[in-house]
Amino acid sequence: MSKPKVLFLCTGNSARSQMAEGILRALAGEHFDVFSAGTEPRGAILPEVQTVMREAGIDISGQWPKSVMEYMGQVNFGYVITVCADAEENCPAVFLNMGIHEHWPFEDPAKFSGDAEARLASTRRVRDQIEERLRLWLKEQDIAPREHRQM
């Protein structure tokens, strides 16, 4: 039996959707095939995102920004979750009409300002909000998440 496919979608696919992809894999990857993409993908995942994910015990170094168009006609998603307003507005309708669509808006780490520590603190906050939302979503699916954080 194949696992449901989940797509996390944002604009640049350099922060929020990448974190959601990594966190869902860590919490319940045995239950889902997890993907992320952007409506206008950027060149690389933000360094702050890589750092805060490593701090949480999640390695996303093998992930990279991808265009949602790479999946057009290739993958049928059971869940499409937009994590920013821009993706919600600009995603090709075929994806938003596929499976179950949810919108979970989070602040964009690419827009955080300040020094390196301030940007890291803000990115940690978004990472934790995404994880909290995913844990709630898994509970709604009657799936007990694995623990991934290193103490």
Q: Give, in order, the Cα–Cα distances in Å from 67 to each of 36, 121, 123.
A: 9, 28, 22
Is 24 contained in some domain? yes
Is 93 contained in some domain? yes
CA–CA separation, 10 and 17 (whole Å): 6
Our measurement of the distance from residue 54's CA atom to the centroid of its chain's CA atoms, rounded to an integer in Å, reads 15
Residue 104, pLDDT score: 95
**Is pLDDT larger for residue 97 or for residue 49?**
49
Q: Is the pLDDT of residue 94 over 90?
A: no
Is 150 contained in some domain? no
Is 72 contained in some domain? yes
Is 45 contained in some domain? yes
Is 55 contained in some domain? yes
Residues labelled as active-site residues: 10, 84, 91
Alpha helices (H) in 29-90, listed in sequence order: 47-55, 85-90
Q: What is the mean pLDDT of the chain?
A: 91
**In terms of residue numbers, what domain contains 126?**
5-140
Is 147 contained in some domain? no
Instruction: Give tens-digit pLDDT for 52-89.
Output: 999 999 999 999 999 998 998 888 899 999 998 777 77
Q: pLDDT-based confidence at 30, cuts 50/70/90? A: very high
Domains held by the chain: number: 1
Question: In which order are the strands placed within the sheet that holds 5-10?
Answer: 33-38, 5-10, 79-82, 100-103
Is 104 contained in some domain? yes
Q: Is the pLDDT of residue 151 over 50?
A: no
**Is pLDDT larger for residue 95 or for residue 129?**
129
**Is pLDDT larger for residue 78 or for residue 95?**
78
Q: Say which CATH number the domain at 86 has.
A: 3.40.50.2300
Residues 86/16, Cβ–Cβ less than 8 Å = no
